[in-house]
């Protein structure tokens, strides 16, 4: 199924084709151009033709001769006949123009199709594309998907050399509908296009792969924060709280004179201390709280080892050491990107 972008916003078109270079081409309309304040239609058409693989543009006129003349005038701007499709609203004169242009090797999209009768006449006229407007039909309460299905069946049954284009796409469900109906091509606004690869479970799985790869390839010392708040046993609870607030951490490492870790004080310890002792605990020294040796890990170890140690010891933080000295703290959240 061919995939077209439906837009007239130059920057959006450029960036989207850089992001998705496999798109078939671009469809646009005078209404889109007017909406974006474009006044130089010819200049815009020429610019777009240099950006996209295939460009579908409007060829308007009151008679078949006028429509044909307009298509040829636009081609004379420098457009490649093999890479340009001329869009013509369905009508008796439009179908006559379609037949005339196709016989000369032009590609034509008969659009604004709302009935199977219109679609049939366009196929019979040799249209390269027939374009029912699904969203607009549904807005009016019609069975747009039923029409698209009939169009696809007619092409397949009678062997017309016509592609059914699913247009006026409003939701992601429309893309699914198009695929299920077996249409030959679809044109999609960028705001819908960029949602097509999103899925909550895909994100969960991708994040899991990324995090598991980190566990096996990155070392503890490479992921710890540059902030390394440490205190001594003589530091008061108040000063510990200041350090945690300053460095925006939930814990500080208590070190001895050799900078070796001898304990850890966390915001959880503070809450427990207030609950147990009540009143003002700010002046208590952390060395008087019965420090125990913290669970630590060497900075050279892989995150995988840290992950296992956190699970085994059922803790949220590990003190990171290098040559026996505290150099940082690894929080369980540091292992998740």
What residues are labeled active site? 87
Q: Which 3 state secondary structure label does DSSP give 298?
A: strand
Report d(CA 332, CA 337) in Å as an integer. Answer: 11
Report d(CA 1, CA 292) in Å as an integer. Answer: 66
> What are the phi and psi torsion angles at 225 (to 5°)?
-70, 150
Q: Name residue 261's beta-bridge partners.
A: 255
Q: Return the DSSP state at 52.
A: S
- In our burial notation (b when 16+ CB lie closer than 10 A, e otherwise), range 298-319 reads bbebbbbbbbebbeeeeeebbb
β-pairing verdict for 251-255 and 230-231 = parallel
β-pairing verdict for 261-266 and 251-255 = antiparallel
Report d(CA 299, CA 302) in Å as an integer. Answer: 8
Of the candidates 5, 10, 9, the one whose C-alpha atom is nearest the C-alpha of residue 21 is 5
Report d(CA 174, CA 167) in Å as an integer. Answer: 9
Give the total residue count for the chain: 337
């Amino acid at each position: 199924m061919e995939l077209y972008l439906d837009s007239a916003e130059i920057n959006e078109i450029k960036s989207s084709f850089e992001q998705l270079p496999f798109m078939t081409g671009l469809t646009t309309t005078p209404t889109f151009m007017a909406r974006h304040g474009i006044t130089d239609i010819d200049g815009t058409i020429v610019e777009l033709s240099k950006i996209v693989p295939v460009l579908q543009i409007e060829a308007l006129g009151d008679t078949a001769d006028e429509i044909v003349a307009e298509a040829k005038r636009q081609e004379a701007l420098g457009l490649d006949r093999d890479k340009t499709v001329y869009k013509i609203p369905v009508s008796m004169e439009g179908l006559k123009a379609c037949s005339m242009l196709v016989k000369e090797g032009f590609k034509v999209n008969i659009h604004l199709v709302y009935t199977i009768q219109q679609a049939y006449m366009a196929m019979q006229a040799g249209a390269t594309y027939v374009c029912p407007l699904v969203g607009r039909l549904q807005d009016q309460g019609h069975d747009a998907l039923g029409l698209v299905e009939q169009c696809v069946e007619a092409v397949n049954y009678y062997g017309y050399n016509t592609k059914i284009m699913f247009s006026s796409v409003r939701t992601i469900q429309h893309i699914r509908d198009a695929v299920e109906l077996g249409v030959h091509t679809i044109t999609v606004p960028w705001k819908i296009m960029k949602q097509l690869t999103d899925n909550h479970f895909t994100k969960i799985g991708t994040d899991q792969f990324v995090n598991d790869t980190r566990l096996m390839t990155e070392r503890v010392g490479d992921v710890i924060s540059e902030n390394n708040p440490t205190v001594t046993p003589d530091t008061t609870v108040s000063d510990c709280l200041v350090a945690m607030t300053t460095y925006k951490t939930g814990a500080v490492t208590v070190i001895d004179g050799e900078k070796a870790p001898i304990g850890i004080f966390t915001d959880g310890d503070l809450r427990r201390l207030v609950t147990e002792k009540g009143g003002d605990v700010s002046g208590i020294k952390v060395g008087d709280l019965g420090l125990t040796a913290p669970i630590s890990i060497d900075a050279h170890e892989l995150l995988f080892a840290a992950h296992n140690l956190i699970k085994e010891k059922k803790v949220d933080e590990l003190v990171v050491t290098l040559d026996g000295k505290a150099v940082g703290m690894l929080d369980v959240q540091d292992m998740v990107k």
